[in-house]
Amino acid sequence: MIIVKPQFVRHEDGKPIFSVDIHPKGGRVATGGQGGQGGRIVIWNMNPILNEADENDENVPKQLCQMDNHLACVNVVRWSCQGHLLASGGDDKLVMIWKLTGEGSSTVFGSGGKVNVETWKCTQTLNSHNGDVLDLAWAPHDGWLASASVDNTVIIWNTQKFPEKVAVLKGHTGMVKGVTWDPVGKYIASQSDDKSLRVWRTADWQQQEVVTESFEDCSATTHVLRLSWSPDGQYLVSAHAMNGGGPTAQIIERDGWKQDKDFVGHRKAVTCVRFNSNILKKITPGSPKTQQYCCCAMGSRDRSVSVWLTSLKRPLVVIKDLFDDSVLDISWSSNGLHVMACSWDGTVACIMFDKNSIGITLSESEKDSLYERMYGKSLQRNLMNSSFVGSQIIENPELLSAMDELNDNNKQKEEDRITIDIPKVVPQIQLESPKPGNVLAPVNQQVETRLPSGKRRITPMCLKPVPSTPTNSLEVPTVQNNTSFSSSSPSKSKIVVVKDDTQLSTISSRATTPVQAIAASSAVQQVQRTQLAMARPPGAQITQLTCCEVPGDQPIIQFVNVLDPQKMPPGQTVTKLNGVMKIQITNACVTTPKGKLARIEMFKTVDDKSPMWETYLGSQIKCVSSSRKYVVACCEDFSVNIYKVNSGARALPPLLIEDTAAAVCQSDTDKCLVLTKTGLLHMWKIDTQTSLLNRVSLRNLLTNKASVSGCSISSTNMPIVTLSDGRAYTYNLDLQTWIALSNPLDPISRSGGILARSVAPTLPLASLQRQMPVVASNDSLPHSVKLSFLECQVASSIVLQSSGEFKHWLLATVNHLLEKGPEVRIRHILDDLLGPTHQSGRTTTSNFIVGLSKKTLLKEVLDVIKTKLPWQRLYKEYAEQFALTSF
Partner 1 sequence: MAKVQLCNITVMDNPSPFSNPFQFEITFECIEELKEDLEWKMIYVGSAESEEHDQVLDSVFVGPIPEGKHMFMFQAEPPNVARIPENDAIGVTVVLLTCLYKNQEFIRVGYFINNEYADPEMRENPPSPPQFDQVTRNILASEPRVTRFKINWEDPTPAAETPIITGFNENSNSISTMECA
Q: Which of residues 174-193 bind partner 1 (CB under 8 A)?
A: none
Residue 870 lies near partner 1 (rule: CB under 8 A):
no
* 473 binds partner 1, rule: CB under 8 A: no
Shorter beta-carbon distance to partner 1: residue 197 or 720: 720
Residue 100 CB neighbour total at 10 angstroms: 25
458 binds partner 1 (CB under 8 A): yes
Whether 378 and 371 have beta carbons less than 8 Å apart is answered as yes
Residue 681 interacting with partner 1 (CB under 8 A): no
Cβ-based nearer residue to partner 1, 125 or 243: 125
Q: What is the distance between the alpha carbons of residues 805 and 810, in angstroms, rounded to a whole number?
A: 8
Q: Are 143 and 385 in contact (CB under 8 A)?
A: yes
Helix (H) or strand (E) holding 375: helix 364-375
Fill in the DSSP letter of residue 452.
T
Spell out, one character per residue from 801 to 840, where the chain touches partner 1: x when CB under 8 A holds, - when not: ----------------------------------------
The three-point CA angle 17-23-25 to 5° equals 165
Angstrom distance (rounded) from CA 471 to CA 320: 56
Spell out the residues 6+ positions from residue 179 whose beta carbon is closer than 8 angstroms to its own: 135, 136, 137, 146, 147, 148, 154, 188, 189, 190, 191, 227
Least distance (Å) from partner 1 to the CB of residue 558? 8
Shortest Å distance, C-beta 19 to partner 1: 18
**862 Cβ contact partners less than 8 Å away, ≥ 6 residues apart:** 875, 878, 879, 882
- Centroid of chain to Cα 356: 50
Which one of residues 29, 41, 156, 511 is an interface residue with partner 1 (CB under 8 A)?
A: 511
Does 5 help bind partner 1 (rule: CB under 8 A)? no
Q: Tell me the DSSP string of 5-54.
A: --TT---TTT--EEEEEE-TTSSEEEEEEEETTEEEEEEEESHHHH-HHH
**Nearest CA-CA partner of 711 in 690, 686, 681:** 681
**Closest by Cα among 199, 202, 85 to 142:** 85
Alpha carbons 217 and 224: distance in angstroms, whole number: 17
- Least separation, in Å, of the C-beta of 483 and partner 1? 7
Binding positions for partner 1, 388-447, rule CB under 8 A = 442, 446
Segment interacting with partner 1, rule: CB under 8 A, options 258-266, 289-297, 704-712, 790-798: 704-712
* Shortest distance (Å) from residue 776 CB to partner 1: 7
Q: Which of residues 64-83 bind partner 1 (CB under 8 A)?
A: 68-72
By DSSP bridging, strand 196-201 and strand 639-644 are unpaired
- In the bound state with partner 1, the residue whose beta carbon lies nearer, of 562 and 581, is 562
Whole-angstrom distance, CA of residue 468 vs CA of residue 474? 12
Asked if residue 671 binds partner 1 (CB under 8 A), the reply is no
518 Cβ contact list (under 8 Å, min separation 6): 571, 572, 573, 586
Q: Residue 435: is it exposed, middle or buried by C-beta count within 10 angstroms (0-12/13-18/19+)? A: exposed
Selected range binding partner 1 among 8-16, 517-525, 532-540, 559-567, rule: CB under 8 A: 559-567
For residue 256, the minimal CB distance to partner 1 (Å) is: 44
466 lies in the binding site for partner 1 (CB under 8 A): yes
DSSP 398-411: HHHHHHHHHHHHHH
Instruction: Confirm or reject binding of residue 110 to partner 1 (CB under 8 A).
Output: yes
Give, as ranges, the residues between 122 and 161 that touch partner 1 (CB under 8 A): 122, 125, 127
Residue 94 interacting with partner 1 (CB under 8 A): yes
Q: Is 101 helix (H, G, I), strand (E, B) or coil?
A: strand
- Eight-class DSSP state of 466: P
**Beta carbon nearer to partner 1, 373 or 455:** 455
Pick 6 or 90: Cβ nearer partner 1: 90
Among 312, 451, 535, 884, binds partner 1 (CB under 8 A): 451
Q: Judged by CB under 8 A, which of 678, 788, 815, 885 binds partner 1? A: 678
User: Is 456 a residue that touches partner 1 (CB under 8 A)?
Assistant: yes
* Minimum distance from residue 167 beta carbon to partner 1 (Å): 23
Tell me: does residue 560 bind partner 1 (CB under 8 A).
Answer: yes
Tell whether residue 725 is a contact of partner 1 (CB under 8 A).
yes
The answer to whether residue 489 forms part of the interface with partner 1 (CB under 8 A) is: no
Among 459, 531, 647, 694, binds partner 1 (CB under 8 A): 459
* Residue 814 C-beta: closest distance to partner 1, Å: 27
31 counts as binding partner 1 under rule CB under 8 A:
no
CA-closest candidate to residue 145, choices 157, 163, 129: 157
677 lines the binding site for partner 1 (CB under 8 A): yes
Q: Using CB under 8 A, pick the residue from 13, 53, 59, 112 that binds partner 1.
A: 112
Of the listed pieces 174-182, 346-354, 423-431, 766-774, which binds partner 1 according to CB under 8 A?
766-774
The CA-atom distances, in angstroms, between 123 and each of 163, 387, 467, 523, 672 are 11, 22, 14, 52, 50
Q: What single DSSP character describes residue 798? A: H
Least separation in angstroms between CB 789 and partner 1:
15
Among 2, 8, 52, 107, binds partner 1 (CB under 8 A): 107
Examine residue 774 and tell whether it contacts partner 1 (CB under 8 A).
yes
C-alpha distances (whole Å) from 590 to each of 49, 548, 608, 616 are 95, 28, 22, 10
| Nearest one of 742, 763, 744, 874 to 821, comparing CA atoms | 874
**Residue 887 binds partner 1 (CB under 8 A):** no
Which 344-383 positions form the footprint of partner 1 (CB under 8 A)?
none
Tally of CB atoms within 10 A around 809: 26
Q: Is 91 in the site for partner 1 (CB under 8 A)?
A: no
Shortest Cβ 462–partner 1 spacing (Å)? 6
| 482 part of the interface to partner 1, by CB under 8 A | yes
Binds partner 1 by CB under 8 A, chosen from 41, 46, 96, 237: 96
Q: Taking the complex as a whole, how short is the minimal distance between the CB of residue 809 and partner 1, in angstroms?
A: 20
Which of 281, 604, 770, 854 is the binder for partner 1 (CB under 8 A)?
Answer: 770
495 binds partner 1 (CB under 8 A): no
Do the beta carbons of residue 384 and residue 395 sit within 8 Å? no
Q: Is 483 in the site for partner 1 (CB under 8 A)?
A: yes
With binding defined as CB under 8 A, does residue 460 bind partner 1?
yes
566 binds partner 1, rule: CB under 8 A: yes
Instruction: Give the range of 320-328, 377-385, 460-468, 577-585 binding partner 1 by CB under 8 A.
Output: 460-468
User: By CB under 8 A, which span of 252-260, 301-309, 672-680, 849-857 interacts with partner 1?
Assistant: 672-680
Identify the residue among 512, 572, 667, 796 touching partner 1 (CB under 8 A): 512
Whole-angstrom distance, CA of residue 518 vs CA of residue 811: 57
Min dist CB 220 to partner 1, Å, is 26
User: Could you tell me how many residues of this chain bind partner 1 (CB under 8 A)?
Assistant: 86
Using CA of residue 4, residue 10, residue 16, residue 21, what is the dihedral sign?
negative
